[in-house]
Amino acid sequence: MALPTGDRCVAALQGAQVLSWTPAGSPGERLYLSPGAASDGATAIRGGVPLCFPQFNQRVLGGRPLPKHGFARNRRWTPLGVVAEGEDRIAEFGLANDEETHALWPASFEARVAVRLSPGRLAIGFRVRNTGWACWPFALALHTYLRVDDVTRASLHGLEGAAYWDAVADLDRPQARRFQSGALAVEGETDRVYAGGARVLRLSEPGRTLTVSQSTTLPDTVVWNPGAALCARLADMPADGWRHMLCVEAACIEEPVVLGPGQEWQGWQSFEVVAG
Ligand code: TA6
């Protein structure tokens, strides 16, 4: 999808996953897509904006464990068309329960992803409706891989003072909390869940800055970088892949959402180029 201004984004039907975003007139690609990413139509694609739904990581919601990060990123979504709204373009994708999802998860649902491309801005909206007769819980993460030139020279602002769970240092202590002091800088493997409310974040690196926002319905922010050692063990990442990415994820995972029959829920994450 492209705008007359030259802004461009690309999405795959698998997972309704945005793979590339190049805003016009600013230096280069803003999303990281691993050159080793799977392209078989079913294996999770490493990069872009994978959707983790209806489970985050291996956090079981009750009932049976689902595949890691749920199944939405592995499924082919239905393209629902592209519409113009002013100078924006919006592409929509749909996914509903079927035999395959029911084999993993009993819920009846209808989900939509809307990718809105505007000059200098990209927004990804997710909405889901309970089309069945029972209540069910779900978790969601927009697991965005932002591209950076060199993550060791980048800093993420806006989480100062926030409490987080450190999934590397405190893996066996899920109740442990640390507090963010200053801007976040990546110094090795980083895997953190910041709870406590949606924030506006700023990813700065020499020569460019991006603002990252999320809806209040997504009160958690996950920040992930595998670091060199874990990256070397990821078959779908090149050895130096960790250096060129930082996942900044908008999520609701600490307190899963419970959706009653007929109820609908929505959440979004957006990215905006900071001029200058
Ligand atoms: O969001 C962070 C995380 O849950 C990490 O723990 C790490 O496993 C990452 O996601 C990637 O998961 P994946 O299944 O895509 O390799």
CA trace torsion 16, 191, 160, 152 (10° rounding):
-90
Whether the link from the prior residue into 119 is cis, omega within 30° of 0, is no
> What is the average per-residue pLDDT within 69-87?
97
The answer to whether the predicted template modeling score (pTM) of the entire model surpasses 0.95 is: yes
E strands, the chain, where?
8-12, 17-22, 51-52, 78-85, 88-96, 109-118, 121-130, 136-142, 145-147, 155-157, 163-166, 178-179, 190-194, 201-205, 208-214, 220-225, 245-259, 264-274
Q: Which atom of ligand 1 is nearest to the CA of 73?
A: 15
Ligand 1 center from residue 72 Cα (angstroms): 15
pLDDT confidence tier of residue 27, bands split at 50, 70 and 90: confident
Q: Active-site residues: which are they? A: 143, 249
Q: Are 248 and 203 in contact (CB under 8 A)?
A: yes
Over 80: is that where the pLDDT of 222 sits? yes
Over 80: is that where the pLDDT of 219 sits? yes
For atom 14 of ligand 1, the residue with the nearest CA is 68
- Domain 8-273 adopts which CATH fold? Beta-galactosidase; Chain A, domain 5 (2.70.98)
Of residues 162 and 63, the one with the higher pLDDT is 162
pLDDT at 161 (0 to 100) = 96
pLDDT confidence tier of residue 47, bands split at 50, 70 and 90: very high
pLDDT at 64 (0 to 100) = 81
Residue pLDDT, tens place only, 93-115? 999 999 999 999 999 999 999 99
Residue 147 C-alpha from the chain's centroid: 13
pLDDT confidence tier of residue 218, bands split at 50, 70 and 90: very high
Residue pLDDT, tens place only, 230-250? 999 999 999 999 999 999 999
Over 90: is that where the pLDDT of 206 sits? yes
For atom 2 of ligand 1, the residue with the nearest CA is 224
165 lines ligand 1 (CB under 6 A): no
Over 80: is that where the pLDDT of 14 sits? yes
222 lines ligand 1 (CB under 6 A): yes
Residue pLDDT, tens place only, 121-141? 999 999 999 999 999 999 999
Residue pLDDT, tens place only, 246-276? 999 999 999 999 999 999 999 999 999 998 6
Candidate of 51, 57, 60, 221 to mutate for ligand 1, largest count of ligand atoms within 8 Å of Cβ:
57
Mean pLDDT, the chain, integer: 96
For the chain, give every domain's residue range.
8-273
For atom 6 of ligand 1, the residue with the nearest CA is 191
Ligand 1 center from residue 247 Cα (angstroms): 9
Q: Say how many C-beta atoms besides its own lie within 10 A of residue 81's C-beta.
A: 8
